[in-house]
Structure 1
Amino acid sequence: MGIHEPDSGFILGDMVRASGSLLRTGDFMNPRIETEIAFRIGRHLAGPADLSDVRAAVAEVFLAFEVLDISYTDWNITLIDSIADNAACARVVLGSPVPFDPAADLGAEQITACVNGHPVATGEGRDILGDPLKALVWLTHRLPTLGTTLHPGDIVLAGSVHASIPLTVGMDIQATSTHLPAVHVRVL
């Protein structure tokens, strides 16, 4: 998308759906979907933090889909456009959480996204800044500039492990990984 640095948005309660949910393309303007590794924060995490602080603060980890949507006519956007559009985040579909093991190597997590039973994208955890936990470290440096921090229960998407896929009617999308439970969504 021409954005070569991290950005962030906010996940609001009405944006979150459970795995197995139905999405309607009519609710979006120009939707795309990505598979991500996500975290639920277990204790307050003020920034700036380092990897050991982040590992100690994460309670759960899971696969998630981020449904991207923008209010622009095409996906030729800049970083400023993305930030103005809440990092293009429109919905989040959460897989089943598992307790986070601080010793786990999430960078080695192999992830495959399938549409209607056919693999369409693959990636691994290290495709997210070399280690998906580094996205949390980055966020702990960014949030204080916005006057906030991470709190228990907050959900953080670390970033996509593959290029976004256009979301169209009739898609049945499932992502699987080496150790995390699958996440699934159908599109009407």
Structure 2
Amino acid sequence: MVGHKVGLTSAAMQQQFGIDQPDSGVLLDYMAVEQNGALRLRDLVAPRIEGELAFRLGSDLAGADVSAEAIRDAIADTFVALEVIDSRYGLAGLTLLDSVADNAACGRFVLGAAVVGLVPELDGEHLTLTVNGVRAASGFGRAIMDDPIRSVAWLVQRLAAFGTGLRAGDVVLAGAVHASLPLRAGQTVTVGSPRLPQAVLHVG
């Protein structure tokens, strides 16, 4: 396990799937695709792509009463990321129970180059996703629970209910800033923002 993801954190994603609350899953090492790497579409069932904000922790975080200040202090790196969501059940008609049972529909992820520390005022960061060089989606960091730090807080509080937490080195995908898009062979997908280097994925 290399980290966690928080899903369904934006109104766009909740409306797309008809689910009115977030969920979370774990990131496993095989899910990580190298920056500018290739994804084998045949390994997946019903893949869709999202542009996200992500963090790497420099220290542990735990407890139901975790503060926003503690979260900011714990963040070692900030990224844009691409998450490929997928489900063995298919994504059409996906319910919250389906998503939780299938690890929050996490398929693969790609991180852009890290920016050291917490980039301030991420609520105003504007992410743009392109497919084969054409703008396909965009959104602000505030789409993630008004502030992506709140997404991390939600995750820490959820884990606290199970007697666990986040560890130094964990990657946390905080959530998408737009509704997911279908993924097809032959596509090159990028996501970037003014202050964060882009993440790139080639689909084979």
Q: Which category describes the TM-score, using the shorter chain as reference length?
A: over 0.9
Q: Which residue of 2 aligns with 1:72?
A: 89
CA deviation profile, 1:125-171 (whole Å, cap 9, x unmatched):
00000001100110110001223111000000000001101110010
Q: Which residue of 1 aligns with 2:116?
A: 99
CA deviation profile, 1:11-42 (whole Å, cap 9, x unmatched):
01111122101001101010001011000011
Q: State the secondary structure of the residue aligned to 1:10.
A: strand
Q: State the secondary structure of the residue aligned to 1:44.
A: coil
Q: Distance in 2 between matches of 1:38 and 1:173?
A: 17
Q: How many residues align?
A: 187
Are 1:17 and 2:33 matched, yes or no? yes
- What's the TM-score once normalised by structure 2's chain length? 0.89
Q: Which residue of 2 aligns with 1:54?
A: 71
Q: Distance in 1 between matches of 2:26 and 2:71?
A: 19
Q: Which amino acid is 1:119 matched to?
A: R
Q: Which residue of 2 aligns with 1:185?
A: 201
Q: Which amino acid is 2:111 matched to?
A: L
Q: Which residue of 2 aligns with 1:170?
A: 186
Check whether the contact 1:18–1:95 (CA below 8 A) recurs between aligned residues: no
Q: Which amino acid is 1:69 matched to?
A: D
Q: State the secondary structure of the residue aligned to 2:191.
A: strand
Q: Which amino acid is 1:139 matched to?
A: L
Q: Distance in 1 between matches of 2:159 and 2:152?
A: 10
Q: Which residue of 2 aligns with 1:87?
A: 104
Q: Which residue of 1 aligns with 2:3?
A: none
Are 1:44 and 2:63 matched, yes or no? no
Q: State the secondary structure of the residue aligned to 1:9.
A: strand
Q: Which runs of 4+ in 1 moved over 2 A?
A: none
Q: Distance in 1 between matches of 2:71 and 2:33?
A: 25
**Identical positions, percent:** 45
Q: Which residue of 1 aligns with 2:162?
A: 146
Q: Distance in 2 between matches of 1:74 and 1:88?
A: 8
Deviation at 1:74, TM superposition (A): 4.1
Q: Which amino acid is 1:25 matched to?
A: L
Which range is displaced more, 71-80 or 151-160? 71-80
Mark the runs of 5 or more structure 2 residues left unpaired by the alignment.
Answer: 1-16
- What's the TM-score once normalised by structure 1's chain length? 0.96
Check whether the contact 2:51–2:82 (CA below 8 A) recurs between aligned residues: yes
